[in-house]
Amino acid sequence: MADQQILDRVIAVTARVLGLDPQTIKPEHNFVFDLGAESVQSVELVAAFEQEFDIDMDEDAALAVDTVGGAAEFIEQYVK
């Protein structure tokens, strides 16, 4: 499981990009099926995560991540 601080930041960014209440976002939520992200928003999420954490991710690999918790674990590899 990802570091709680990273997870909290991923949830905050996800909420901002998708216009959702952060309180309603759970680690197991799928970006597309549970949170309603469209393909253009997925790209926006990757960019927002890179900006939030000041990292450069492999975009194809990042876009393959489908859950909030998965995104936090993926990002954790870059920031640790």
Q: Is the pTM of this model over 0.85?
A: yes
Residue 26, CB-side half-sphere exposure with 13 Å CA sphere: 4
pLDDT tens-digit profile of 13-70?
999 999 999 999 999 999 999 999 999 999 999 999 999 999 999 999 999 999 999 9
Tracing tokens 């991540």 back to the chain, one arrives at 65
pLDDT tens-digit profile of 40-52?
999 999 999 999 9
- Closest C-alpha among 73, 80, 79, 58 to residue 27: 73
Topology (CATH level 3) of domain 4-79: 1.10.1200
